[in-house]
Amino acid sequence: MFSIFTGPRRTKHSKIKELQEQLAQMDEFIRIWSHDINMPIMALNNGLKALKAITTVEDLAVVLGDLMYIVGYLEEINSNIRTFMNGEHYERLHIKRIDLLPWLRQIVSLYAVVASYKRQKIELFAPEAGTIDTDDIKLSQIIFNLLSNAVKYTPIEGHIYVNLYNKDDITVFEVQDDGIGIPASQMDNIWLPHTRLENNVPGLGIGLFVCKKNTKLLGGDITVSSHIGEGTLVTVKIPAQKG
């Protein structure tokens, strides 16, 4: 009669596995935030450039409002980084109430500046905007990435449409462009990290990966419809969070 004791080895194995999971989470966290921090930095640069061209007090108020929004967004990113470093996971939600129209209008105005360099036009339609209780940083990341892709893959003098409406207690966001479109052969890969439609377009190729991840964390759904040479429509459906 004999027995095999594997308790300590199993404990050691479980600790190694836990450390590997923590390292994987940290790696993903760093990739996501290093990607998304590019947008506010670019917006800050554009805002500072816009200050030089200001001729009216009204224009100054608009630009200062944009800059204050960007600083606030960076402060929240910094807060999330500190939270993560203190041991909390990226998946944790920080719920607050968002007044959707001014919130979305602010984001669109930031990208309108970027789009203007390609003589693109961004139009916002939000006839039924209200409020939603959700994680505003994760939702902001979704919209930032969708608008960033739309500007990147839409040609000079192209059009981008942002729609917001409510349907059956679900908030629906649509970002549509008349850009290059996505080949059918690549549709299955667009949600994977490091996927880019064109190699000459700058970026890490994790925008839609972040959108998919955040939408899932918010309990929502994201779909893409696209045709070559006709453009792309991305639809995001987000339910209100409770608690």
Task: Give the pTM.
Answer: 0.70
Question: What is the pLDDT, as a whole number, of residue 168?
Answer: 82
Least confident of 65-69, 97-101, 177-181, 186-190: 65-69
The DSSP call for residue 205 is: S
Determine the pLDDT at residue 204.
41
Counting runs of H as helices and runs of E as strands, what totals does the chain give?
A: 6, 7
DSSP string, 180-194: S---GGGGGGTTSTT
CB 66 within 8 A of CB 47: yes
DSSP code for 240: P
| Angle separating helix axes 207-217 and 136-153, nearest 10 degrees | 150
CA torsion 140-145-147-149 (nearest 10°) is 180
From the list 174, 170, 176, 175, the residue with the least C-alpha distance to 218 is 170
Q: Residue 81 carries which side chain, given as an amino acid letter?
A: I
Q: How many CB atoms lie within 10 A of CB 137?
A: 17
Q: Are 144 and 150 in contact (CB under 8 A)?
A: no
Alpha-carbon distance 160 to 79, whole Å?
32
pLDDT one-digit tens code per residue, 223-234? 999 988 889 999
Average pLDDT of the residues in 122-140: 91
Calculate the average pLDDT of the chain.
Answer: 79
Q: Is 132 helix (H, G, I), strand (E, B) or coil?
A: strand
Question: How many C-beta atoms surround the C-beta of residue 215 within 10 A?
Answer: 21
Q: For the structural domain made of 8-239, what CATH number should be given?
A: 3.30.565.10
CB distance 122 to 109 below 8 Å: no
pLDDT in tens, 158-172: 999 999 998 888 999
Residue 222 has a CB neighbour count (10 Å cut-off) of 21
